[in-house]
Structure 1
Amino acid sequence: MDLDLIDHSILSALQRNGRLSNVQLAEQVGLSESACLRRVKLLEENGVIDRYVMLVNPAAVGKPSSVFVQVTLDGQQAEKLAAFEAAVQNVSEIMECYLLSGDCDYLLQVRVRDNADYVRVHEKLTALPGVLRVQTSFALRTVRRTTEIPLNTLNQ
């Protein structure tokens, strides 16, 4: 789908505030309400808008610590990767999991209460299928955290 400047404006506005009403969104992007709704529906139907979510403050729910975990498997055969990837779906503390190139196979972002809580999660991680090595780094401070994907405008 080719996105124009208005599509970019709609996406940017909704990324900043997914609770905007269609009336508010239409006003912000300079469209009539019906035209705005048609655009949003088209963006949804084409998979540009994946879903709508609410973000929780991790510290407010007792999970202030962000831990980054590099996982190396004992092999990279398709069945080993698939078994590991299926198993991580069942570890609720894993917020993100990426298959990587480079020195390790996967990078995980894990949310925990504190170091002691991470010890419990570490035991889960080392028990996952095919895990050979786990290397952990604790985030000391969040410098930037966003969910907003930058959209290039047509003018740039």
Structure 2
Amino acid sequence: MDQFDVKLLQALQSNGRLSNFELADVVGLSASQCSRRRAALEDAGTIASYHAQLDGEALGLGIMGFVQVTLATHSPDNSRRFFKLIESLEEVQEAYALTGEADYLIKVSITDLKALSRLLNDVFLPHDSVAHVRSSIVLDRLKQTSQLPLGHLIPAEKRPAGRSRSRGEGTPRSGRSRGA
């Protein structure tokens, strides 16, 4: 992967609908070169998909919440049962297996608090795979992005000024000068 591929990926993350001609302007290559590079990145799985990002509030999904779930038992069968439950719920937007106190963190988008109550009390809690549920309601979204950080793919000498540094670059972590 070179700097042109990184520029192409950055541009497509910002706007996945860019044509190859528009990409050529951004990346600094011809449209045919952009087309070949895009196809290669798609074939390699680096570009996983294209999609429309919908506004949940505009669609009546006014509540976003996070649900921490602790399983009743830690066995492959119980994990599979819980996975099937998660897969069946359209309200579940994301689900993560975790280390720490909770086993899973589930992001849900729902219409209102009554819908959240039904989801927790009528779906999660009675499920035989679940032992404990804790929920949090999002008050305000401070940042939302589906864009991955790509700065680490650009050699340090070619990064624009002001880009965050990776560990090991620049000043030491403690803030003291080396050798002090």
Which residue among 110, 113, 127 is the counterpart of 2:111? 113
More displaced 10-residue stretch of structure 1: 82-91 or 50-59: 82-91
Q: Which has the larger radius of gyration?
A: 2
More displaced 10-residue stretch of structure 1: 80-89 or 130-139: 80-89
Q: Deviation of residue 83 (structure 1)? A: 1.6
Number of the residue aligned with 1:154 = 154
Number of the residue aligned with 1:39 = 37
Distance 1:144 1:33 in 2: 33
8 A contact 1:71–1:131 mirrored in 2: yes
Identity over aligned pairs, percent: 35
Unpaired stretches in structure 1, ≥5 consecutive residues: none
Q: What SS does structure 1 have at the residue aligned with 2:102?
A: coil
Q: What SS does structure 2 have at the residue aligned with 1:51?
A: coil
Q: Deviation of residue 127 (structure 1)? A: 3.5
8 A contact 2:72–2:128 mirrored in 1: no
- The answer to which structure, 1 or 2, has the higher relative contact order (CA under 8 A, 6+ apart) is 1
Number of the residue aligned with 2:50 = 52
Number of the residue aligned with 2:167 = none
2:65 paired with 1:64: no
Number of the residue aligned with 2:127 = 128
The residue identity in structure 2 corresponding to 1:150 is P
Number of the residue aligned with 1:27 = 25
Distance 2:60 2:81 in 1: 30
Distance 1:137 1:101 in 2: 18
Q: What SS does structure 2 have at the residue aligned with 1:49?
A: coil
Q: Deviations over 1:112-131 (max 9, x none)?
A: 11211211221222233401
TM-score, length of structure 2 as denominator length? 0.82
Pairwise CA RMSD = 1.1
The residue identity in structure 2 corresponding to 1:32 is S
Q: Deviation of residue 155 (structure 1)? A: 2.8
2:95 paired with 1:97: yes
Distance 2:123 2:18 in 1: 40
